[in-house]
Amino acid sequence: MDVLARLMDGVRARGAVFGQAVLDPPWSLRFAVDAPLALVAMLRHRAWLVPGDDHAPVSLGTGDVAVVRGEFTVADDPSTPPRHVVTTSGYCAEGVRPLAARTCGDRPDATALLLGGAYGGGVSARLLRALPQVLVVGGDDRQRPLLDLATGEVTSDVPGQQVVLDRLLDLLLGATLRSWFDRPGARAPAWYRPTGDPVVDRALRLMHDDPAHPWTVAGLASRTGTSRAAFTRRFTAHVGEPPMRYLTGWRIALAADLLRESDATVAAVARQVGYANAFSLSVAFKRINGIPPTQGRPHPTSS
């Protein structure tokens, strides 16, 4: 199974805040959007991305694409205080002049040009946990055509445009994450690429392909041709956690995605991911996520 493809298949931008800004220094945009992920591309000049929670500023050069979790600020200099705020109500912040459809700023040929988009939801919890608060990918052939398409769409105003922009945001995110995971020295999660250990890779494929199977350490060791002790040792060394803990995390992440994306009952989702009933899933779900499964979906449904 291509796990990244499965996780990205569940990513669906809907009515995303998507637009561009053209600004002269000093400038600073605060992205105060209630979104699990946002994407910023510097199309012209340089900038600094300042994450929340006292993280160090990150430099962005022309062509760089950043993926960010949580609120953040993009500015000409880290010391420039936020002058405008972008919210879920629209990309054009108060005080920033509209220049074209979804384009705001000082003047069309201003020094800095940045493209941004933010998700309103629909991002896999497992994917979010695999990402740092900020990741940056340099100019890449895979992103350039998509950035050109997005820029063309952002500056026009035609029927059905929001749907096209939403899909472009999905494609940009997928291409950026793939480039980031594939970079030299990347600490990609175990589900993204082979670990280099055939025993561990086979065990991961078994769990990913059939999470509902009643897997045990003994069963996985037998299927991979190793002893329980050797299997546990190798799996933990390569993945960073014991096999059953990994399986539990994987099942709960799948359950969260299924609850968000469908109207299936908690009991039905429990069976799909390997739990005997709704109660068993609810106990594990709350232990890991801190909330019951019914709070992880956009609307209530009976279990």
- Same domain? For 105 and 148 the reply is yes
- Same domain? For 175 and 205 the reply is no
H-helix or E-strand spanning residue 267 = helix 266-273
pLDDT at 205 over 90: no
Query: Can you tell me the mean pLDDT for 15-43?
Result: 85
By the 10 Å C-beta count (0-12 exposed, 13-18 middle, 19+ buried), 258 is classed as buried
Is 188 inside any structural domain?
no
- Same domain? For 15 and 93 the reply is yes
- Same domain? For 207 and 89 the reply is no
Phi, psi of 253 (to 5 degrees): -65, -40
Query: Which tens digits make up the pLDDT trace of 50-100?
Result: 987 678 899 999 999 999 988 899 999 999 988 888 776 666 666 677 777
Is 302 inside any structural domain?
no
- Same domain? For 8 and 111 the reply is yes
pLDDT at 298 over 60: no
**Between 123 and 31, whose confidence is greater?**
31
- Same domain? For 137 and 260 the reply is no
- The pLDDT assigned to 4 comes to 65
The token pair at 24 is: 């002269």
Is 193 inside any structural domain?
no
Give the Cβ contact number of residue 174 at 10 Å: 18
By the 10 Å C-beta count (0-12 exposed, 13-18 middle, 19+ buried), 112 is classed as buried
pLDDT at 300 over 50: no
Is 189 inside any structural domain?
no
Query: Which tens digits make up the pLDDT trace of 214-257?
Result: 999 999 999 999 999 999 999 999 888 999 999 998 899 888 87
Is 187 inside any structural domain?
no
The token pair at 281 is: 């899933």
- Same domain? For 152 and 270 the reply is no
- Same domain? For 27 and 176 the reply is yes
Is 249 inside any structural domain?
yes
Cα three-residue angle 111-113-114, rounded to 5 degrees: 145
Query: Which tens digits make up the pLDDT trace of 121-140?
Result: 667 766 777 788 898 988 76
* Residue after which a domain boundary falls, among 147, 182, 217: 182
Per the structure, the complete domain to which residue 125 belongs is given by: 3-182
